[in-house]
């Protein structure tokens, strides 16, 4: 066994949970303040680094996923985001300005772990202290809930399965002429992946899914109220709505 293997494994596990907690807490704060366009509020210097890192991962042979933008920044690069106005909610939630000091204190040990050097006994103590701070701030249950769904992308196979279920449910609602038909949340995530629409990489025709989703969007824009069922029936028949949704589902089955 490597002399410092167990210490480094413990340090890595704690660092992983700490960094997920910081990124996900910060994402929640930015989304709360700026809505769905929160990514555009990341400072230009950091955004440039994110774009550069994303470009490095456009290599289909490695099956990379498109991560959330905060995952392309080091923990040290997240500190300026925590200190700006929109990040103060996260910072206060995690312990205030003392949290920044604890975070800065583990940058050296983190670097050692990432480069396969010994974390050192003192470094491991610092990481444990920071983790205890995060767990106390969020509670063990809150921490587990926060990091259980990280913003780290989705594979085409996971997307195909979830989209197929969502479109089957949508089809049933359209068949009953119900409105509105909820749009599948997974669609926005899937279309943001590198593999979406890339021939010879994706095992299904993405355009068929795009057409089905657009059809549902158009269906949802139909008038509601007295007599609206007849208008929806006319739309379903003239646009061959069920056939289009079935075609999308058939494409998704090719990835199973």
Mean pLDDT of 126-130: 96
pLDDT band at 233 (very low <50, low <70, confident <90, very high): very high
d(CA 27, CA 106): 22
- Report pTM: 0.73
Return the minimum-mean-pLDDT range out of 58-67, 71-80, 196-205.
Answer: 58-67
The Cα–Cα gap between 251 and 245 comes to: 10
Could you give the CA distance from residue 72 to residue 61 in angstroms, rounded to a whole number? Answer: 20
CB distance 115 to 121 below 8 Å = no
Higher pLDDT, 200 or 22: 22
Q: Is the pLDDT of residue 178 over 90?
A: yes
pLDDT reported for residue 171: 96
252 closest CA partner among 158, 156, 164: 164
pLDDT band at residue 20 using 50, 70 and 90 as cut-offs: very high
Domain boundaries, the chain: 5-147, 156-253
Give the pLDDT band (50/70/90) at residue 64: low
* For residues 154-179, average pLDDT: 93
pLDDT value of residue 59: 63
User: Which residue shows structure tokens 């992946």?
Assistant: 193
Measured in residues, the chain has a length of 256
- The pLDDT of residue 58 is 63
What is d(CA 228, CA 224) in angstroms, rounded to the nearest whole number?
Answer: 5
- Sort 107 into a burial class: Cβ within 10 Å, 0-12 / 13-18 / 19+: middle
Which of 74-83, 147-156, 201-210, 228-237 bottoms out in mean pLDDT, i.e. has the lowest? 147-156
User: What is the percent of the chain where pLDDT is above 70?
Assistant: 96
């Amino acid at each position: 066994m490597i002399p410092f293997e167990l210490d480094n494994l413990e340090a890595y596990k704690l660092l992983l949970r700490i960094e997920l907690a910081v990124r996900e807490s910060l994402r929640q704060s930015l989304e709360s303040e700026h809505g769905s366009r929160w990514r555009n509020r990341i400072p230009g210097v950091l955004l440039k680094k994110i774009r550069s890192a994303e470009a490095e991962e456009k290599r289909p042979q490695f099956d990379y996923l498109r991560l959330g933008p905060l995952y392309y920044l080091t923990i040290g690069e997240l500190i300026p985001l925590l200190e700006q106005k929109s990040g103060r909610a996260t910072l206060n939630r995690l312990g205030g300005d003392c949290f920044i000091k604890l975070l800065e204190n583990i940058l050296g040990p983190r670097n050692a772990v990432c480069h396969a050097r010994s974390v050192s006994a003192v470094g491991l103590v610092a990481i444990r202290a920071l983790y205890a701070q995060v767990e106390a701030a969020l509670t063990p249950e809150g921490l587990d809930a926060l990091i259980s769904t990280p913003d780290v992308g989705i594979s085409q196979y996971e997307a195909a399965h979830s989209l197929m279920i969502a479109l089957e449910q949508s089809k049933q609602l359209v068949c009953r002429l119900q409105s509105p038909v909820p749009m599948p949340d997974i669609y926005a995530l899937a279309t943001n992946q590198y593999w979406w629409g890339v021939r010879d990489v994706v095992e299904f025709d993405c355009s068929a899914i795009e057409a089905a989703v657009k059809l549902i969007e158009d269906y949802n824009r139909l008038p509601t109220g007295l007599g609206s069922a007849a208008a929806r029936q006319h739309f379903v028949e003239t646009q061959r709505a069920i056939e289009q949704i079935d075609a999308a589902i058939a494409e998704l089955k090719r990835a199973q």
